Amino acid sequence: MITKLAIKRILGNGWHSVINIAILSIVLLGIVLIQSIYDGWSRTARRQLIEWENGNGHYEQQNYDKYDSFTIDKSYAPIPEGIQTQIDNGEAVPILVSTGMLYPNGRMTPITIKGIPYSQTLLKIPTQYLKITDNTSLEIPVVIGQQMAKSAEINEGDTIPLRWKDVNGVFNAYDVVVAKIMRTPVPSIDVSQVWMDFAKLNELKELQNSTTIIVLKSEPRNTSLGKEWKYISTKETMESTKAMINADKSGGYVILALMMFLAMVAIFDTQTLAIFKRKKEIGTLLALGMPKKQIIKLFTLEGSLYMLLGTIVTAVLGLPIFLYLGIKGIQIPQEVGNMNVVGVIEPMKSYFSPFALLFIFIIMMALTVYSSWLPAAKIARMKATDAIKGKA
């Protein structure tokens, strides 16, 4: 009976009901879209870091700190015997890191030199271009990223002087030829980075099969590799990116909070107006013996039905948008892609987490029920005679 009365009242409210449902639908659509875009960004960034830079976890030499250039030339150690087998099987990739100076068109450009085996296939870096076919050549093939090439005004095929310091503290120089300019979505392997063959960089540094980083194909069961090495998991790698995404989320959530507030105000006003216009009806129901709790339940149910109808409208009208964003994604403007942010160069695809969708629905339903219950609670203090007479 109460459900039928609630449905009848919603239909009887006409445009008021349509406006309430429309507002709830817009708010729901906005919340779902923003949350799905941020979730998609996080997943895309994680995938790209795994595919291009860090694999499913990696080891770093204990002295290595990528944010402190003074530690880089001291951060190397021989490859452990247990890891060498994984490297030979393609399950791990060593990367030797060194500081250097590049001189494109006579300009001095500080860089980080990274040596990686040309035969590796674990990371998406096009290392096949690093293979040295002529050992008598005085030029070393290197790979750089598009942003590096753009900032330094370098083109494929350019020959550029490169200076580095070996383990004895002696500076040396060599000509390098840009064999490939790669397009990568991970700025940290592009900006100020020059990639060359792992064995060649060991030779230039006067080292013997030494490395700074060991990237793994799969997460190891035992992460201990001795005192020389520290293990960095994928979760730890993502911490800085997640912090940036969460910081960006806060601005979006402020707007969503305002939208939710307006939606709740619309429901509250509608229910308050309904109580004011239906005082005599409410008094009659009370006089006929309907419990006050049932009347409160009636108005609360009306608000809940608004939310359910708003959810249905959102699902029906928003489905094409959800499908497009989930399959095609949105292309971030190039200006944002050049801000050294991982996960924004490729089209950003939305991810609709079932848990997040359920959480959003529960929160919106709870707020709607509360907004409907609040004005209806006043009914419990009304006398039937006062309600029939139209008194508050």
Residue 326 neighbours by CB distance under 10 Å: 14
The sign of the torsion formed by the CA atoms of 34, 39, 42, 43 equals negative
- pLDDT at residue 138 greater than cutoff 90: no
pLDDT digit string, tens, across residues 196-226 = 999 999 999 999 999 999 999 988 877 788 7
Weakest mean pLDDT among 130-139, 152-161, 376-385 = 376-385
**In sequence order, what DSSP letters do the residues of 109-120 get, joined into one string?**
EEEEEEEE-TT-
- Residues 209, 202 contacting (CB under 8 angstroms): yes
Rounded mean pLDDT of the chain? 83
pLDDT digit string, tens, across residues 292-313 = 777 778 778 877 888 888 889 9
The residue to which tokens 């150690």 are assigned: 77
Q: Are strands 171-182 and 139-145 parallel, antiparallel or unpaired?
A: parallel
Residue 299 neighbours by CB distance under 10 Å: 24
- The full length of the chain comes to 392
Tokens of 320: 């094409």
Residue 363 neighbours by CB distance under 10 Å: 12
Q: What DSSP element (H or E) covers 264?
A: helix 239-277
